[in-house]
């Protein structure tokens, strides 16, 4: 699977509500920024993703402008994504136009995120 296929696979795994930690490098050097969180290190990222999977469902991830640049051992991406999900604890549906970017590193012929940033645009 190349870097772009890895990003698309991550989106599909999120839609299905399946395990997301395997997409991240098992290192303390990784960081994941979500709309309302900052997670650092594999253990914290994995715990945050597991909690997200436990407390959400009905994910909609619509990629609108995925752009991936791949080199021998590194890749980076950016995308405009419509995202929506249901918070199962609060029974609230959230919807956002968002921006995604990140860096991937190849380990043993597989691509893993070493940085991911998800944010929402703000009108000024």
Query: What percent of the chain lies above the pLDDT cut of 90?
Result: 93
Task: Name the burial class of residue 111, with classes exposed (0-12), middle (13-18) and buried (19+) by CB atoms within 10 angstroms of its CB.
Answer: buried
Q: Percent of the chain scored above 70 by pLDDT?
A: 98
Residue 122 pLDDT = 76
Q: Do 110 and 1 meet the contact criterion of CB atoms below 8 Å apart? A: yes
Tell how strand 110-119 and strand 67-70 pair up: unpaired
Q: Give the per-residue pLDDT at 96.
A: 94
Please compute the mean of the pLDDT values over residues 29-41 and round it to a whole number: 95
Confidence of residue 86 (pLDDT cuts 50, 70, 90): very high
Q: Kindly tell me if the per-residue pLDDT of 124 is higher than 60.
A: no
Q: What are phi and psi of 94, to 5 degrees?
A: -110, 140
The pLDDT, as a whole number, for residue 123 is: 64
Q: Is the pLDDT of residue 15 over 60?
A: yes
pLDDT averaged over the chain? 95
The matching CATH number, chosen from 3.40.50.150, 3.40.50.12280, 3.30.540.10, 3.10.450.50, for 3-119 is: 3.10.450.50
**Burial status of residue 14 (CB atoms within 10 A of its CB: 0-12, 13-18, 19 or more):** buried
Burial of 90 (0-12, 13-18, 19+ CB in 10 A): exposed
Do the strands 67-70 and 74-87 form a parallel or antiparallel pair, or are they unpaired? antiparallel
What residue segments make up the domains of the chain, in order of their start? 3-119
């Amino acid at each position: 699977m190349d870097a772009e296929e890895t990003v698309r696979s991550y989106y599909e795994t999120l839609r299905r509500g399946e395990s997301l930690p395997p997409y991240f490098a098992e290192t303390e050097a990784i960081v994941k920024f979500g709309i309302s969180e900052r997670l650092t290190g594999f253990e914290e990222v994995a715990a945050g993703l597991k909690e997200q999977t436990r407390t959400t469902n009905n994910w909609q991830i619509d990629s609108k402008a995925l752009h991936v640049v791949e080199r021998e051992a590194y890749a980076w991406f950016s995308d405009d994504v419509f995202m929506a999900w249901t918070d199962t604890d609060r029974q609230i549906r959230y919807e956002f136009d968002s921006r995604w970017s990140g860096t991937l590193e190849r380990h043993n012929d597989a691509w893993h995120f070493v940085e991911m940033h998800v944010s929402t645009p703000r009108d000024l």
